[in-house]
Structure 1
Amino acid sequence: MFDIVPSEAISEGRATDAYFDRTVAALEAADRNPTVVAEVTADQFPDGSFELLAGVEDAAHLLSGLPVDVDALPEGTLFDGGPVMRIEGRYLDFARYETSLLGFLSHASGIATAALEARLAAPESTLLSFGARHVHPSMAAVVERSALLAGFDGFSHVAAGELLGREASGTMPHALVICFGPGEQEAAWTAFDDAAPPETPRIALCDTYSDETEEALRAARAIDLDGVRLDTTGSRRGDFRHIVREVRWRLDGAGFEDVEIFLSGGLGPAELRDLRDVADGFGVGGHVSNADPVDFALDIVTVEGQSWGKRGKLPDEKAVYRTADGGHDVRRAADPAPENAEELLAPLVRDGEVVREFDLDRAVARTAEDAARVGFGPPA
């Protein structure tokens, strides 16, 4: 019914670029199938522009069952050059999987990096991922998991939550209020309050028909409110910071000091930095979900133990280290390691068996720790 490549096509190697089929046919006809080392890399040398690695679990499942050995950086590691993954095996055993492998890593890492920019722009605020509507539905769980990896507190997509074992967050859209009509906002807020499960926070959308300050006060008086959400469109927003501060002033003056304020609608790191001291939380959509994928490539660096590679790429098997000062060091695997450095490439798959456990909470903690070590920060 939908333009979705099925999972079995991915796992069987049919979700590939046509030239890999041509390559397999040519090598088989020539009776050539060398043992190679291939590396997944975005930048050859560290350049100080860090990105967050995500998608490793999907990559591991893709390569499981193949007679290959794979090493990879732990998910939640910041990298700025050198390989994030290394594959060793006979080339025809994994050739057709390159397209899907790079897709798993590239898209998730781009989304996670953008989410980390948002997280660090408002480190003390509640952040929810609201961007699933901007991507193909088959991508929703990738978006939400990548946002969680970067430290987001929750997300909105129900099916993604079922897949990830997490409860989706969210209260009401403008459509609910509009269905009751102008002047009937109290009826909409009350209907929501009556129907929502007890554990759902009572957060009312307060900018549909009237001034934000007026609707916020009306909502606070209508139901036992946890918070208000302002999703004012950019064309009507004006000085959004002033609007938020006025809503806070009016709520406090009416005795609703405990009612929190949440903001959404086209917010990125710059807006989060500007508003984080006057709002309690944010829904972030397009900045995360619409992030550009990381431009990973897979390159053969040795063939039958010989140093071979494409012109412009660095041959030889490499090692990657986090240095004592938080740097990222890339060197030949045969060379001595830097002093007091942590080797980052670690076993992922051995002879087709996944040998690493995946724990999202642990990866979230690693993201925060590594971001602090390398000095990662959101764009100015």
Structure 2
Amino acid sequence: MTEFDIVGPDAIRDGDATDAYFQRTEATLRHAGKNPHVVAEVTADQFPDGEFEVFAGVKDAAALLEGHDLDVDAVPEGCLFDGGPVMRIEGDYLDFARLETSLLGFLSHASGCATAALEARVAAPDSIVLSFGARHVHPSIAAMVERSALVAGLDGFSHVAAGEILGREASGTMPHALVIAFGRDEQEAAFRAFDEAVPEGVPRVALCDTYGDEVGEVLTAVDALGDNLDSVRLDTTSSRRGDFRHIVREVRWELDARGHEDVGIFVSGGLGPEELRELRDVVSGFGVGGYISNANPVDFALDIVEVEGELAAKRGKLSGAKEVYRTDDGGHHIGLRGQDAPDDATPLLEPLIRDGELVREFDIDAAADYSARDAERVGFGAE
């Protein structure tokens, strides 16, 4: 028994974080003296259907496969895909058989979170959007959630340990618990104490919906912090919101009427793309939580498509090693490797590992730029 129910890095790296039938497969193939050279591909859909998703989790997948005698190609981190392979693995099957479970887990979960985060990003392209969803998932995967959000172009996240892993500072100011700890009708004291306690570089963002009317608590924050107040945050529970847009506009009006046009308004609490589109013109930014962290994983599968140079595939899957392409009009195309590419097409599968050595670097900002360009090119989230 371990202190926490967490599968550790050693088990993942050694291939013990696997489904039992892969261990049985290894034993059977070794018993029979078989270890074929194969081409295997990771795919979600065989053919394009117009539903693009974001490829993420590549860094962890590469770390898993590195050191094994394999050649691996993958589409870039942040690339949008629509059918066909996102990764191709070539090598002796027993060199990666037991890694399949973890490989698909790395790619599936991160790509699902990144896709949801991109939906939020394009819903409010000119707003600050932060990932607030780490509390909804097992803490061992918080860094995956936050990295996926950054790959999709979000501006930051809330989880401290994830920030240490990713080399980014976590964002966040105060919860309702802080205000409640000071007692009812003591919001001003809470705001003042926060201002005195936290480092100078932390934005003074007052949470203004704990006990009273949002406008009233916002004006309390103005009185308490004056020019030190950077923003206010409204996290009103859905059962008390009523017309949330109207509430936000009322807060904006009262701030402006008192000469506080520079004080921003942030909103959070159960928000998704629909709410972001509705509010993006009246707020400065959003905290998006469960919509990102609770996103459905992309249903990737890994299938052998060639054995010893011969076409092979299970029923319902397409045999033969493939290429995927992006055309200038944003189209996503699939073809057999070695066949002519479509006109104006750019191949998307790029070298990731050669002879077991990693040949690609990972940069979150570069992935976010790629994601933004690709989203515009393919019309992702177009209204």
> TM-score by structure 1 length?
0.99
1:264 alignment partner AA: S
Which residue in 1 is equivalent to 2:235? 231
Indicate yes or no: 2:103 matched with 1:68: no
Which residue in 1 is equivalent to 2:296? 292
Which residue in 1 is equivalent to 2:98? 96
Q: Partners in 1 of 2:62 and 2:323 — Cα distance?
A: 19
Indicate yes or no: 2:130 matched with 1:128: yes
The secondary structure found in structure 2 opposite 1:209 is: coil
Structure 1 segment 254-333 matched on structure 2, within 5 A: 254-333=258-337
2:343 alignment partner AA: E
Q: Partners in 1 of 2:210 and 2:308 — Cα distance?
A: 66
Q: Partners in 2 of 1:164 and 1:132 — Cα distance?
A: 14
Which residue in 1 is equivalent to 2:40? 38
Which residue in 2 is equivalent to 1:185? 187
Aligned residues with identical type, % of pairs: 72
2:84 alignment partner AA: G
Q: How many angstroms does 1:123 deviate by? A: 0.4
The secondary structure found in structure 1 opposite 2:115 is: helix
1:274 alignment partner AA: E
Structure 1 segment 323-362 matched on structure 2, within 5 A: 323-362=327-366
The secondary structure found in structure 1 opposite 2:87 is: strand
Q: How many angstroms does 1:180 deviate by? A: 0.4
**1:156-175 residue CA offsets vs partner (Å, 9 max, x unmatched):** 00000000000000000000
Structure 1 segment 153-192 matched on structure 2, within 5 A: 153-192=155-194
Q: Partners in 2 of 1:200 and 1:175 — Cα distance?
A: 19
* 2:369 aligned residue (347, 365, 369): 365
Count of residue pairs brought into register by the alignment: 379
Q: How many angstroms does 1:293 deviate by? A: 0.1
Q: Partners in 2 of 1:206 and 1:314 — Cα distance?
A: 56
The secondary structure found in structure 1 opposite 2:177 is: helix
Q: How many angstroms does 1:83 deviate by? A: 0.1
Indicate yes or no: 2:116 matched with 1:114: yes
The secondary structure found in structure 2 opposite 1:316 is: coil
**1:51-110 residue CA offsets vs partner (Å, 9 max, x unmatched):** 000000110000001001000000010001000000000000100000000000000000
What residue ranges of structure 1 are gaps of 5+ in the alignment? Answer: none
Q: Partners in 2 of 1:136 and 1:75 — Cα distance?
A: 24
Q: Partners in 1 of 2:305 and 2:287 — Cα distance?
A: 43
RMSD: 0.7
Q: Partners in 1 of 2:330 and 2:264 — Cα distance?
A: 37
**1:99-144 residue CA offsets vs partner (Å, 9 max, x unmatched):** 0000000000000000000000000000110000000001100110
1:320 alignment partner AA: V
Indicate yes or no: 2:7 matched with 1:5: yes
2:123 alignment partner AA: A
Q: Partners in 2 of 1:346 and 1:271 — Cα distance?
A: 37
What residue ranges of structure 2 are gaps of 5+ in the alignment? Answer: none
1:115 alignment partner AA: A
1:313 alignment partner AA: K
* 2:24 aligned residue (22, 25, 46): 22
Indicate yes or no: 2:46 matched with 1:49: no
The secondary structure found in structure 2 opposite 1:32 is: coil
Which residue in 1 is equivalent to 2:146? 144
Q: How many angstroms does 1:339 deviate by? A: 1.6
Q: How many angstroms does 1:325 deviate by? A: 1.1
Q: Partners in 2 of 1:245 and 1:253 — Cα distance?
A: 12
Q: How many angstroms does 1:338 deviate by? A: 1.2
> TM-score by structure 2 length?
0.98
Q: How many angstroms does 1:225 deviate by? A: 0.3
* Displaced runs of 4 or more, over 4 A: none
2:43 alignment partner AA: T
Q: Partners in 2 of 1:176 and 1:47 — Cα distance?
A: 48
